[in-house]
Amino acid sequence: MSHTPLYPLRFEPIYQYRLWGGRHLPDLLSSPLPNEGPIGEAWVLSDRDDHPSQVANGPLKGQTVGTVMQQFQSQLMGRLAKRFLRFPLLLKFLDAREMLSVQVHPGYPPAKLLPEGEAPKTEAWVVLQAGRESRVYAGLKPGTTADVLRQSITHKTLADHLSSIIPKPGDGIFIPAGTVHSLGGDVVVFEVQQNSDVTFRLYDWGHVDDKTGKPRRLQVDQALACIDFVDGAAGLVTPVAETKTPVERERLFDCDAFRLWRLRGELPFTIATEGVPRVLVCIEGLGQIEHGDDTYTVQRGEVWLLPAVIESCVFRPAHAVSLLEIEVPA
């Protein structure tokens, strides 16, 4: 397998039951949902031991992204090869019919709250669908303290102290590690995050899990210890226009953990990996990736990993298309 030349890699979604989930994800993804229950997440690129993504096309079909990382470290990661033993991002679609728990993901300090082998968890959302009742909470209102939050949990008034956003399709929302956040009310988003699955619940809206008949456990002390009470970076972002032709390209997120652009157009355009892997996510329309003598059909909802060794390829839309392009900063 180590002699196989790397090529654009496609991955199938891994659906996850969540009590707050819905049944909207087939509207975006080609794979059918499991027959029953609320599905809140589709993990579309995951190098996690519990839910590893598998290559869905070509000679490496069936291999996990972790195996590809081990066998093709330099070809896949390029200038990042010595920095990461696992693919450093976890990509998802979320369908939040109900509200997620109000939660916090840890950063490096306090490091004692990060299990061994886990990374901090900065993440960001691109809103794809939103209903009349949709809400996003990202950050705290000014003057909110740990004591205020403890009291509000007791009195069930925590939402009064959270910065609230009425989301609309196309919005980009940044959630640095240490940010109190939640979303729900029939909203669908694409999520890019660091490869971590560490979450501390501060409040859960009185949800009871139908599978257990019990509320989910809170981790109030850990969540409070993780909160950045002064960081104002969370919330809606303003897109930065970079090019208009042959494709409209705007940057939504640019942080130490990831960069994300939105690409929209109808004409063929070139994608250069520039020595690091890139990920393409098709959120509207369809087209083809052309690399060398090979052509790969790209459909709505699909996720494609472009190894660093590819250097460049052409994306040829069938008609108007909207893509997300993601990279890990070198």
Q: What are phi and psi of 147, to 5 degrees?
A: -65, -40
- Residue 110: the pLDDT is 60
With contact defined as beta carbons under 8 Å apart, do 324 and 280 qualify?
Answer: yes
- Residue 77: the pLDDT is 97
Model confidence at 213, pLDDT cuts 50, 70, 90, reads confident
| Last residue within a domain, chosen from 218, 236, 254 | 236
151/273 same-domain check: no
- Residue 2: the pLDDT is 56
Sign of CA dihedral 191, 197, 199, 204: positive
Stated pTM of the model: 0.95
In a domain, 4, yes or no: no
User: Distance between CA 266 and CA 121 in Å, rounded?
Assistant: 35
- Residue 263: the pLDDT is 98
pLDDT tens digit string along 155-196?
A: 999 999 999 999 999 999 999 999 999 999 999 999 999 999
Mean pLDDT of 214-233: 90
- Residue 109: the pLDDT is 65
- Residue 118: the pLDDT is 84
Model confidence at 36, pLDDT cuts 50, 70, 90, reads confident
- Residue 30: the pLDDT is 79
Say how many domains are in the chain.
2
User: Distance between CA 240 and CA 172 in Å, rounded?
Assistant: 11
* Residues in the chain, overall count: 330
Model confidence at 119, pLDDT cuts 50, 70, 90, reads confident
Residue 87 burial (CB count, 10 A): 25
| Last residue within a domain, chosen from 204, 236, 268 | 236
Exposed e or buried b per residue across 152-188, where buried means at least 16 C-beta atoms within 10 angstroms of its C-beta: bbeeeebeebbbebebeeebbbbbbbbbbbbbbbbbb
User: Distance between CA 52 and CA 48 in Å, rounded?
Assistant: 5
Range of the domain at 50: 9-236
Domain at 299, CATH number: 2.60.120.10
Mean pLDDT of 67-89: 95
246/317 same-domain check: yes
pLDDT, averaged across the chain? 94
pLDDT tens digit string along 243-301?
A: 999 999 999 999 999 999 999 999 999 999 999 999 999 999 999 999 999 999 999 99
Listed in sequence order, the residues at least 6 apart from 116 whose beta carbon sits closer than 8 Å to its beta carbon are none
How do strand 135-140 and strand 181-184 relate by DSSP bridges? antiparallel
